[in-house]
Amino acid sequence: MFSLTAEYALRAAVWLAQSGDIPRTNQEIAEATQVPASYLSKVLQALGRAGIVRGARGKRGGFELARPAAGLTILEIVNTVDPIHRIETCPLGLESHRAQLCPLHRRMDQAMETIERTLGGATLAEMCEQPGARPLCETSASRSAAR
């Protein structure tokens, strides 16, 4: 349902939230999240343009969240890289559906509304605070990178 780009953006953002105020290099993030480094750099650029992450060059440079994790929702991250599209008019362009959506498209739009509401109510901080649970699928690389 969600694109690989959205998955990569979420993995990077959650991992940065776990990292606290420590700037992390593109390579560190890529290894920890199992995201190809070249693709990750494009994702981080998009997140940077949206004010979600900030990057600094140099010896002590790297990426970190630009705002507190408690103020960043999963929806904001997803919509930055692959916006969720609601159905406002008939996707088929049928004249008879101009006034209102047909039952099928209305139901599909309701599903998208539920997704938006759910993701909009979940912050990065909440993903990191759940007791006994890891916010990301654990890989051997993420275990070693978190140290």
> What distance in Å separates the CA atoms of residue 122 and residue 118, rounded to the nearest whole number?
7
- Which CATH code is given to the segment(s) 4-83+125-145? 1.10.10.10
Instruction: Compute the chain's Rg from CA coordinates.
Output: 18
The pLDDT assigned to 93 comes to 75
The pLDDT assigned to 63 comes to 95
pTM for the full predicted model:
0.83
Please choose, from the candidates 26, 45, 33, the residue with its C-alpha nearest in 3D space to the C-alpha of residue 4: 33
> What distance in Å separates the CA atoms of residue 36 and residue 32, rounded to the nearest whole number?
11
Residue ranges of domains in the chain: 4-83+125-145
CB hemisphere CA count around 99 (13 angstroms): 1
Task: Decide if pLDDT at 27 tops 60.
Answer: yes
pLDDT in tens, 33-80: 999 999 999 999 999 999 999 998 887 789 999 999 999 999 999 999
